[in-house]
Amino acid sequence: MAPEGANNSVNAGDSANVENLTDGFHLLIDALKLNGIETIYNVPGIPITDLGRYAQASGLRVLSFRHEQHAGYAASVAGFLTKKPGVCMTVSAPGFLNGLTALANATTNCWPMILISGSSEREIVDLMQGDYEEMDQLAIAKPLCKAAYRVLHAEDIGIAVARAVRSAVSGRPGGVYLDIPGALLGQVMDAVEGEKSLVKVIDPAPRQVPSQDAIARAIDVMKGAKKPLIIMGKGAAYDQSDDAIREFVEKSGYPYLPMSMAKGLLPDGHPQSAAAARSLVLKESDVVIMMGARLNWLLSHGKGKQWGEPHSKKFIQIDIDPKEMDSNVEIAAPLVGDVGSVVTALSEAMGNDWPKPPSDWTDAVSTKVKTNVERMSANLQNNASPMNYQGALGALRRVIDERPDAILVNEGANTLDFARSIINMHKPRKRVDVGTWGVMGIGMGSAIAAAVETGHPVLAVEGDSAFGFCGMEIETICRYKLPITVVIFNNNGIYRGDDENWSGGEDPATTTFVPDSRYDQMMEAFGGTGVHVTNPDELYRATAEAMDSGKPTLINAAIDPAAGKESGNIGSLNPQSVVAQARYGAMKKN
């Protein structure tokens, strides 16, 4: 039963009465607007079709996608770029499940996002009476996000939205689910009382200052360092304390290694950047400062051959969540707080005469960086046709160097791995990729969010396999006339395009696609610009022209099918079997 003051029926002919009432539709919209939400990413349908229309009419920007998963990826990346929760809105059951992948991905990556989904009525769901798209969505969402709430009464919408906003951005950010039964949207209540029920969240993500004892402990560890290293993660980029981070890094004089989405916090060409000497600094460093980065699989959990001698390093970790400390290795100096507050406190504690690290260490790192950069530079200047990854990415590197405000979105296997080390970033939060989970298919949703939230041109560099997960969203790009240039590295398959059917049968190999597919013609079908290129010079000219035009463009870049390698840089994660290899070897001989 609805609370007193709310009801589900209004005499449509009583205009005076209607003027004094509001409903669930408008209370939800007003609650979002009150809390600074300006954009909704959605796929319309029952029971939220009119909600999108009303939201658009109220001044919110509502972008409709072709698939909920990509609307969700867009919302999550909007959260990363703005520090406000990105909002994705879906229909019930199947649509909700499609959006749930993006919600879980946002939580894993620590990006604030709110998934709002229509749902069936509780009394039918709880008795399992077979409603349209019946599903207990709240129960399914809870294990996969930071918080989940259901609203049953119109007068509770304001507090529910407030809780969702605060949950999404406070502490370690993450995904929040908000369940909206269809009947709630039609509930009406007095307009004045409805306005009073709305809640504007005050200081939803307060800074968390580290303790003085923790700062003193970290300074003591830093003073003993002979081969120090700073590792910056996307949490540092999200924090948007760019000046404070730069001051700390430069004051310390320590080499730094940016994880992929932290690239640009300091320019990749900065003299302290150790990105081109990754193997050396991970193995040889003795004190490692983890800044908004986690010792997960992306860093081999802080142990193993990549890190040199076991137990030979001391770790200082900056994280807003104390539970992250000691997740894989002992943390000698845990610093619990937000990145900006911690690095500011460290800089102050270092004083004005902080000693630079030993020159034999910094010289060794600089020499290794110079050697590797020079070696790579020669490979980037080839104009081979068909292209290899180095030549193609060398061309795109020039495009980004000339347009440092452009945002790079990147996914694939080899396409992602090579681009991480080849394309330099010059400013913070200009690179978006697959993140912690390594999810494929984030490209088009991320590109759309980047263009909408920043207004800057976007270059999306896609493997042909990764593009296959999200390719229909190029229609969305064309529909909204977004300044996005998509470059597809087309090597005719997953990892490589030259695999063969191990059985010798007529079916194509499991990892191959239709050879020489013309993805550029797909873009033309939706009114965008399509270009086909076969060498790096053509790729550079086409991409530069597309970026400057601001028009939706897709460039089909023909890559040598044999240029890649199995699973990119994480082929070691593929299970190995002596038995399977022996059987395949025998099969090949026969």
In the predicted model, residues of the chain with pLDDT beneath 50 are 1-5, 11-13
**Which of 103, 100, 93 shows the shortest CA–CA distance to 135?**
93
Q: What is the pLDDT of residue 124?
A: 86
Task: Measure the CA–CA gap between 409 and 53, rounded to whole angstroms.
Answer: 30
Task: Measure the CA–CA gap between 325 and 452, rounded to whole angstroms.
Answer: 36
In single-letter form, the type of residue at position 440 comes to M
Q: What is the pLDDT of residue 574?
A: 73
Task: Measure the CA–CA gap between 358 and 14, rounded to whole angstroms.
Answer: 81
Tokens standing for residue 362: 């910094």
Domains by residue range for the chain, with CATH: 6-197 (3.40.50.970), 212-367 (3.40.50.1220), 381-573 (3.40.50.970)
First to last CA, the chain: 73
Q: What is the pLDDT of residue 135?
A: 93
Task: Measure the CA–CA gap between 266 and 273, rounded to whole angstroms.
Answer: 8
Task: Measure the CA–CA gap between 318 and 214, rounded to whole angstroms.
Answer: 10
Sheet holding 21-23, edge to edge: 6-7, 188-190, 21-23
Q: What is the pLDDT of residue 378?
A: 85
Q: What does residue 106 show for φ and ψ, rounded to 5 degrees? A: -60, -45
Q: What is the pLDDT of residue 3?
A: 43
Q: What is the pLDDT of residue 134?
A: 80
Task: Measure the CA–CA gap between 365 and 367, rounded to whole angstroms.
Answer: 5
How do residues 509-525 score in pLDDT, each as one tens digit?
999 999 999 999 999 99
How do residues 110-168 score in pLDDT, each as one tens digit?
999 999 999 988 888 888 888 888 899 999 999 999 999 999 999 999 999 999 999 99
Task: Measure the CA–CA gap between 211 and 337, rounded to whole angstroms.
Answer: 9
**Which of 414, 378, 415 shows the shortest CA–CA distance to 396?**
415
Task: Measure the CA–CA gap between 148 and 141, rounded to whole angstroms.
Answer: 7
Task: Measure the CA–CA gap between 2 and 194, rounded to whole angstroms.
Answer: 14
Task: Measure the CA–CA gap between 590 and 584, rounded to whole angstroms.
Answer: 10
**Which of 371, 370, 369, 393 shows the shortest CA–CA distance to 380?**
393
Strand 287-291 with 228-232, pairing: parallel
Task: Measure the CA–CA gap between 56 and 49, rounded to whole angstroms.
Answer: 11
Tokens standing for residue 321: 């969540």
Rg from Cα positions in the chain: 26
Tokens standing for residue 191: 């307009």
- Which element (helix H / strand E) includes 359? helix 359-380
DSSP 124-156: HHHTT---TT---HHHHHGGGSSEEEE--SGGG
Residues 6+ apart with CB under 8 A from 4: none
Which is it for the CA torsion 270, 276, 277, 278, positive or negative?
A: positive
How many other C-beta atoms lie within 10 A of the C-beta of residue 21? 18
| pTM, two decimal places | 0.94
Tokens standing for residue 45: 């349908």
Biggest CA pair distance of the chain: 86
CA–CA distance from 581 to each of 166, 564, 572, 575, 584 (Å)?
52, 21, 15, 11, 5
Q: What is the pLDDT of residue 323?
A: 96
94: preceding bond cis by omega (within 30 degrees): no
Tokens standing for residue 141: 């969402």
Residue 45 CB burial class (10 angstroms; 0-12, 13-18, ≥19) = middle
DSSP 387: B
